[in-house]
Structure 1
Amino acid sequence: MNPTIEASKPRSRFMFITWFDVNSWLIELADKRILLDPWLVDTLVFNHFSWLIKGVRPRFYEIPPDIDLILLSQGLEDHAHPPTLKRLNPALPVVASPNGARVAEGLGYSQVTSLEHGEEFVLDGAIAIKAFPGAPIGPFLTENGYLIRDLQSGLSLYYEPHGYPDESLKQIGGVDVAITPIVSLALPVAGTLIRGQPGALEVAQLLNPQIILPTADASEVTYEGVLPPLMQSQGSVDQLQQAMGDRHLTAQILTPQPGERLELSLEPSRS
């Protein structure tokens, strides 16, 4: 079934998604609101090296109300953004990779659950969040990807922000929505930082999603410093759509605008 926007369908069939540019998302599922890898305010700087790279937002976003959970896939600043986390209520529960959990705990969050690969967290008996191997960060650290699943309707979402789906995803059998990069990003010496089309194709083959939503690539955000002019990007929605068609993959690619709340009607039949 193709996803549509139909307010008359039962709520349990719906997933609501808001993209705040780059890797920041609000996921509304099973009447729960999950804030994923939030960067909503201030600039983005890695390890205080603003001269190296600095992300600049043309506008900041209000902290969304009624958040039930903060979910962090990595401990790097573009996923666990300290200025944003400082604006959020430290009493909110946090689920994170071990690296992300250390960031949250260091900022005073009191309900932090660190998920190793293969571990699962259940939010209020309504949503299960399972960690899978995600992006390799250096030679000895692999961060998290997540399967987020509505325990009542079966609707599911997979998220991994660097384009590194793991073969263990085969055990899932399928998902309804996948959030994954489409544009690759590389540096001449460091190599590939984000796997766009290759990773997205692997996600489509492993999980057969109804919808793919691009992440990581900036829409309104701009970058300053030494590194941005050296970065090489490759890939597009049209190229991915063509590559999926060549492989008889049927996922629909949606490209939301920053701040736009998408209401997705989905049949819980892929998971």
Structure 2
Amino acid sequence: MYLTWFDNNSWLLELGEQRILIDPWLVDVLTFGNLDWFFKGSRSQQRPIPENIDLILLSQGLEDHAHLPTLKQLNRNIPVVASPNAAKVVQGLGFTSVTSLAHGESFTFNNLIEIKAFPGSLVGPTLVENSYFIKELATGLTLYYEPHGNHSPQLKQVAPVDVVITPIIDAVLPLVGSFIKGGNSALEVAQWLQPQVMLSTANAKETTYEGLLSKIITFKGSIADFRLLLEKHNLPTQVLDPHPGDRVELQLKKRVLTI
């Protein structure tokens, strides 16, 4: 298994000889509803669109996960698996093979990869977007991805999971609290899933933010703090902190099943 982090929530997963592009924001700026005064994210460098993408996986329909300028540069014939909300976005762009997954539904891609949707991020008062459990069928290697730190207890049914990608650092708004949940939420999912490796998402190393919203967001925690938290709770999970653009090979041990 190889992972490349492109900053923020954008990942390339290489698993089962398949290249899966997750929640890509690789070019241009990020705004919500074109309201630059409210929020604007700018990358310090544009990332080239990765070649030979086999599948696009979208967890949400919001611009920071279904980023229109990036999606417009991708081949419309690349298959897409998406939350129902994100599926509407890519269908509107003319993508020809779109699979919408509701919570609890599964999809098998090329008889090599199984993807199952679980409840994920709460967007607005009622909309719950997707998190994903991904399994390579030949080896049994597994990965779980949730970009806001909202983890459903239903995940316990797929434990253990080899790799978890989730926030480790909290993003906090006044009166609202943590709208991106790291820290204790990441600890809880680590206790449920017993991953060999965890990687942080939803943070940024090559992005600057402007606008009203960015001025009132504060961040709590660090990778080092989380490593200490795992150690305190006797969890041997390795926490990786890759640089954007680095292709990382994960050294995973085969699980020994006990009866």
TM range (shorter): over 0.9
Q: Aligned pair count?
A: 257
State how 1:228-239 maps to structure 2 within 5 Å: 228-239=214-225
Give the whole-Å Cα distance in 2 for the aligned partners of 1:119 and 1:178. 20
State how 1:92-171 maps to structure 2 within 5 Å: 92-171=78-157
* Percent of paired sites with the same residue: 54
Question: Structure 2 unaligned runs (5+)?
Answer: none
Give the whole-Å Cα distance in 2 for the aligned partners of 1:270 and 1:146. 24
* Structure 2 equivalent of residue 9 of structure 1: none
State how 1:39-58 maps to structure 2 within 5 Å: 39-58=25-44
Give the whole-Å Cα distance in 1 for the aligned partners of 2:195 and 2:46. 31
Question: Structure 1 unaligned runs (5+)?
Answer: 1-14
* Structure 2 equivalent of residue 265 of structure 1: 251
- Please, what TM-score do these two structures have when normalized by structure 2? 0.97
Give the whole-Å Cα distance in 1 for the aligned partners of 2:210 and 2:254. 42
SS of residue paired to 2:72: helix
Cα distance per residue 1:160-213 (max 9 Å; x no partner)? 000011100010121111001011011114332100112210110110000000
* Structure 1 equivalent of residue 10 of structure 2: 24
The answer as to 2:75 corresponding to 1:89 is yes
CA contact (8 A) 1:174 1:270 kept: no
CA contact (8 A) 1:173 1:270 kept: no
Give the whole-Å Cα distance in 2 for the aligned partners of 1:191 and 1:213. 23
Distance 1:268 1:147, change over 3 A: farther
Indicate the structure whose relative CO is greater, using CA pairs within 8 Å and at least 6 residues apart: 1
What is the Cα deviation at residue 270 of structure 1? 7.4
Counterpart amino acid of residue 169 in structure 1: L
State how 1:219-258 maps to structure 2 within 5 Å: 219-258=205-244
What is the Cα deviation at residue 126 of structure 1? 0.1
- Please, what TM-score do these two structures have when normalized by structure 1? 0.93
What is the Cα deviation at residue 264 of structure 1? 1.3
Counterpart amino acid of residue 171 in structure 1: Q
What is the Cα deviation at residue 58 of structure 1? 0.9
* Structure 2 equivalent of residue 62 of structure 1: 48
